[in-house]
Structures are given as structure tokens and as C-alpha cells.
Amino acid sequence: MALVSELKSVCLTRPNTRVANVVRVPTSRIAKVQKRSAPVSHATFTADPTTQQSSLAGNVAAQKDLNARHRDILKHFPSALGVDDFIARCEVVLSGYGFTGDNSIAMTNLCRDEITLVLKDKIEAVFGSSFNTNGLGGVLTCGVTGMGAGLSHSPTSSSGRERYVFFSFPHIAIDSASSVGTITRPGRSGRSCACGALLKALGELKAEGYACNCKVPGVHDPLDPEYSILKQRLARRLRYEKTDVSKLDLVGITAVAERTITNDLEYLIEKAVDLNKADYAVVTGVQIHNWATSLEADGTPSLEFVAPTKVFVVVNGVKIHLDLTKVPSLSPRQLLMLAGGEASAHDTNFAVSHSTGSTLQEIPYSYLNTRLGGATVLSPDWTTLAQKDNMAPNNSWPVWQNVIRSDSVPTDRDRKAPTMDSPEECVNPSFAAANGNGKA
């Protein structure tokens, strides 16, 4: 099992190589599958998804071209990677800085929508059960206490040091016909949308403007707390960025949500994480559901993408930004090996393709028609094999790790942006419609 050492070697000697000789890392997951006994009802939002013109629209044969679909996704999210490829790269990069499923706890922040479980399952296949801080649209409402609760569940190394890996992703659907916001859900006829909360907020912000939606921190609708907090956080960010809401679309509001939530996450980390006793990693971006317009066996493949925006580690107080694009992607054969157990549990045949910059793998139809049950992480006691922690700060890293450092360092947390508790200049304490048009 030479995944880490082989891929480190490739990063060192062939940093631009797209395909590496990769095998599964020791930590694995066995998923128990439970079939739904009846169609499941879902909450819906009234706003209709928007349709983007594409060569894939109405062309079922073309929708089976995974590379063409990836190219369409890249038009909206230029950093998008296939979800399995994304997770594999994260696993290799983070293990190089000491973060593994055996010594770290994953903190996952996703939308409450059940379709985000696809990404959550991929994360937990590597890091085991995660502590979730989910909210509508991915908004963070757990606060310092909620964050601290998750951190207190972390494994502890022999030195007493803890490790946390934060994953945070709002989500969006762009179906196989390139219709933005549209998704077909298992057991439900007709079109649905994602993210419904962001789509609803977009429609209301277009109608009302953001001025009347900028509230005093701590004020929210008691009957709709999460959504009202999400809308307030978006409104304050839009005002800060001086965005023309009338020109905003679902892709745009999703990007705004990602920036807002990532900033909030980093703000909470500053409040909750003790750097004297812990190292942590942050991986943020947008989850993209590129599902078939019609879910059926042997039909059009369904895909999942992740568009990473920030990846960094803080080890012994030293912050290092990382670039996942510098990690070679897995080949189709390697992805099939990684998914061997999962594939055999669902479908014997599913689509894999090597696209530009990322290897793509179908999310099996039967998986989308089931709900995953429990999981058992099979792993030896790797603490007996791991090196002892070096508690002294050390800025020197192996050469291969220098290869994956980000050349263009992303900005740190925007300290000028409004935070969860920053005072509101123009006080609007009520959720009733403001006098006048209230538009920015």
C-alpha cells in the first residue's frame, strides 16, 4: 500500500504529470446500504431554476460524454474537479502534513439538503465519522460552542496534540443538460432545484434589495432562524462588495455564499482553536451536482464535482497554502480500484473518464436510489507506526511538499468584511418590510 510515498515521489519528480501510480490508503470504509421503502418527500422552494444554453441541452447522447460535461462545468467554476479525484488529492496532500483519518476529526459544513451526503460520504470514507455544522445554504449557525464541541471529539496523539480538518461547501446543481439550478431527485417526479435556499434568497434580494435585509447581528426570524440568518449574512456581504444584485444569478450568489461562509468559518476558527495544542487544515469550495436529467439504470451517468477555493494547513502555528492542481490526478484504472468495494455494492458497470485536469467517475444510479446506513472504518493502530510529534515549531518541509504549495497565495480571511458579530451601521432590527423600497 504505497499511495502516499508513490504520489509524493511523483509530485517531486514530475509535478506536471496528470496520472500517478496510486493505490488505496489503509483507512477504508464499508457502507451498509438500505433501500428506501417508499418515495421520500422533500421540502421545496418556489423559485424556478435557470437554464443555460449548451450543446448538451436536449442531446441525451452528448450528455454521456463526461469530458464535455466537465468542460461545461468549468465555464461556471474553473477549478472544478471530479469528487473522487478531489478527495484523493486532498487525502494525499493532507497526509503529507500529518492529517489522516486515524489522528484527525473532520468538521463538515454543508447544506442540510440530503443530496450533499454524496460529498459527506466521500470525506468520511477517508476521515471516518465527521462532526457536522450544517445549515441551510451552508450557513454557519453553530457558533463557538458548537465548533468547540466538535473539536473536543478529536483523537489525541501521544503528545496530547489534536488535529482538525475543516471542510465547508455550499452547493449548486447543474444537471447533465447544463441547466443551472436543476436536479432530479430519486423517488420524486419532475424537476427540483439546488440550492433551494440560495435560490430563494436570490429572488428575494433581487426584489427587496440588500439594504433592508442587513440586520443587527443576533436578530433573526424566530420561525425561520437559519434562513433569515443566511439571508442577512448574504445581504451584508453583497453590500460590502457593492454588488449589483439585479445582475446576480444562481452561480454568482453561490460564489458569494462561499466567500461569506468561508470567512465566517475562519473567524470561528480564530475564536475556537487553540494553536498551542492543535494543528488544523481548511478545505473550502463549492459542491456541484451534475446529475442526469432522468435517473435510470444504464441511463445518462450522474457526476459530482467540487470546485476548491481555499486549501491550507496550520501546523505548529505555521500557515501554508496548498494547490491541489499540482497533485497528479488518478487514472481511470486507479479510481476503479479505489471504488472497488463501493462499485460492487451498487453497480458492476459505471462510467469513468480522464478529462482535462481531472479523472471523472460516475455516481452509481443505485447509490442515488439508496440511503447509506452505518459505516465501519477498518484500520490497524497506526499510532504505533507514526512518528512522534515534534512539538517545536519547524518551518522546514520535505522537498515534495514545496511542489504543492500555492504560488499565488489566496488571500487570508478578509478582515474588513462584516463578521457574524460586527456592529451594523444602519440599524434595521425588524424583519418587516422597511419603509420605502429598501433597495441598495
Indicate whether 16 belongs to any domain: no
Phi-psi region for residue 67, left (φ > 0), alpha (ψ -120 to 50) or beta? alpha
Which structural domain, as residue segments, surrounds residue 126? 78-187+251-332+362-372
Please list the pLDDT of the chain residue by residue as tens digits (440 residues). Answer: 444 444 444 444 433 333 222 222 233 332 333 333 333 333 334 444 454 456 666 666 777 888 889 999 999 999 999 999 999 999 999 999 999 999 999 999 999 998 899 999 999 999 999 999 999 999 999 999 999 998 899 888 888 899 999 999 999 999 988 899 999 888 777 788 989 999 999 999 999 988 888 888 778 888 889 999 999 999 999 999 999 999 999 999 999 999 999 999 999 999 999 999 999 999 999 999 998 888 777 788 889 999 999 999 999 999 999 999 888 887 777 777 776 545 444 444 456 666 666 778 777 766 766 642 333 333 334 344 444 555 444 445 555 566 666 666 666 777 777 776 666 665 554 444 443 444 44
Residue 97 lies in a domain: yes
Q: Which backbone phi and psi does 437 adopt, to 5 degrees?
A: -80, -20
Is residue 294 included in any domain, yes or no? yes
Q: Quote the Cα angle for 418-424-427, to 5°.
A: 150
Kind of pairing, strands 131-132 and 105-110?
parallel
Specify if 14 maps to a domain: no
Distance of alpha carbon 389 from alpha carbon 158, whole angstroms: 8
285's CB contacts (< 8 A; 6+ apart) are 79, 169, 258, 306, 307, 308, 309, 310
In a domain, 401, yes or no: no
- Tell me if 261 is assigned to some domain: yes
The residue length of the chain stands at 440
- Specify the number of domains making up the chain: 1
**With a threshold of 0.85, does the pTM exceed it?**
no
Q: Specify if 31 maps to a domain.
A: no
The answer as to whether 423 is a domain residue is no
